[in-house]
Amino acid sequence: MTDVTSSSFRFPAVQRKKVTAAFDGGRITSDGGVLLLAQAEREMDICRQLATCIADRRDPSRVVHKLDDILRARVLAIACGYEDADDLDALRDDPGFRLALGKLPGSGAGLASQPTMSRWENAPTTRELARMMAAMVDIYCASYPSPPEAVTLDIDDTCDVVHGYQQLSFWNGHHGERCFLPIHVYDTATGRPVAMLLRTGKTPSGAEAAGHIRRLVRQIQRHWPTTHITIRGDGHYGRPEVMNFCEAQGIDYVFGLPTNAVLRADPQIVKIADACTVKRAEEQHVVLRNYAQTRYGAKSWKCQRRVVARIEASTLGMDIRYVVTSLEQGSAEHIYDTLYCARGQAENLIKLHKAQLASDRTSCRSANANQMRLILHTAAFWLMWRIQQVIPKAAPLANAEFATLRLRLLKVAARVIETASRIRVAFASACPDATLFRIIAAALRPAPT
């Protein structure tokens, strides 16, 4: 490895001068922004809370890496774009990561290696994982300075294609893949992750969905007993068991509702749909939209419920979408366009989780290990979210995605200089986001004690 990093190679000459290069610059990190992530992690105290959920049966006298440091290194690496535990073998002596974990850049043991990371990914039992998932909900609640009056939680599942015959993998005919269908829950209005649950690759039943929502709501209500909760989801979650639970607990809901013959024949909806079609044709609109509402009760429901229909007539024909809700206030248009369609932002958050933090790298054989990975990637999501929150609203990166934040703020080269009395981190003088970097560092700096 030493020969590879120190041996030089050439680039084209510049003004008749040879250009040679080698990976021999010394204590230089290409992830200087990991120090910002480390400040965010210390503020939120995520890894320590997760570590307390796992039994550490190692001999204390022989422990080199504390469990929370092992988890911290993995989470910081994920946020910086190193989604595989293998990357830790190369990063264990990176001066930026060493500083982020409170280690001196030039002395002492490096970060935990890949085998250590993998052992701890496979170590937690099912009961310990349940405690870690509860801890993640606690972290969500603690992220608010005071209990909010109301929150809307978006619940959705997403296709996670498997890399082999792992536990819980299942063939899904809709996606045409053997996959998991993990459930993601977000506080979409603020971009906060709430819970991520690995599950088999088939649509959740009503009883299963109700069970997950019940446990989540109870955990939140321990912290916020007076906060009003609204659950929002697509047709997978508009099941009678879920609606019955929500109504019994005083929780509002807005769920998609699959079409059927009874809804298509409803007089109120048919009347408005026909009028919309005629008006579109007479006025030569390409698309014309209208809304209707009715009371509907399926055979499996215990009562009739409010159903809102979005009716869209176009040159291609008629398209009607339905939503069932417990909300009695608000027009049909408000329920569909303002409340229900806002859940589309949750799908963007899932994309951040899967595509930009690579949480679909659930390639372990054990279902418990894959659930552990989901938790670690959610912890990385929290760190990126925290960085995002302290960026001034007028800054160009205020609404940037995680991949852009990583490229502009985390992938910043820095030379680490250690002397007898201090450590100096020298960033590139030409860094285009130097001012914003300073602002974020100041905002995340812990208060003096």
This prediction's pTM: 0.93
What digits encode the pLDDT tens for the residues 184-202? 999 999 999 999 999 999 9
Mean pLDDT of 199-224: 95
Say yes or no: 79 and 226 in one domain: no
Say yes or no: 40 and 58 in one domain: yes
Say yes or no: 243 and 347 in one domain: yes
Say yes or no: 226 and 357 in one domain: yes
Q: In this model, does residue 303 exceed pLDDT 60?
A: yes
State how far Cα 118 lies from the chain centre: 22
Under a CB-based contact definition with an 8 Å cutoff, are residues 111 and 91 in contact?
A: yes
Say yes or no: 169 and 84 in one domain: no
Q: Residue 449's pLDDT is what?
A: 60
Say yes or no: 103 and 150 in one domain: no
Q: Residue 320's pLDDT is what?
A: 95
Is 296 inside any structural domain? Answer: yes
| Structural domain harbouring 304 | 261-325
Is 15 inside any structural domain? Answer: no
The pairing of strands 228-233 and 252-257 is parallel
pLDDT category of residue 6 using cuts at 50, 70 and 90: low
Distance CA 63, CA 148 (A): 42
Least-confidence region, from 26-30, 69-73, 278-282, 312-316: 26-30
Nearby residues of 99 by Cβ (< 8 Å), 6 or more positions away: 35, 38, 105, 416, 423, 425
Is 355 inside any structural domain? Answer: yes
What digits encode the pLDDT tens for the residues 42-55? 999 999 999 999 99
Say yes or no: 242 and 137 in one domain: yes
Say yes or no: 189 and 133 in one domain: yes
**Which tokens is 272 given?**
């408005």
Mean pLDDT of 80-97: 91
Task: Report how many domains make up the chain.
Answer: 3
Say yes or no: 153 and 34 in one domain: no
CA separation (Å) from 351 to 44, 79, 177, 374, 401?
Answer: 23, 15, 18, 14, 10
What digits encode the pLDDT tens for the residues 306-331? 999 999 999 999 999 999 999 999 99
Q: In this model, does residue 1 exceed pLDDT 60?
A: no
Say yes or no: 97 and 160 in one domain: no
pLDDT category of residue 21 using cuts at 50, 70 and 90: confident
pLDDT > 90 fraction of the chain, expressed in percent and rounded: 83
What digits encode the pLDDT tens for the residues 367-425? 999 999 999 999 999 999 999 999 999 999 999 999 999 999 999 999 998 888 899 99
Say yes or no: 299 and 318 in one domain: yes
Is 22 inside any structural domain? Answer: no
Say yes or no: 217 and 355 in one domain: yes
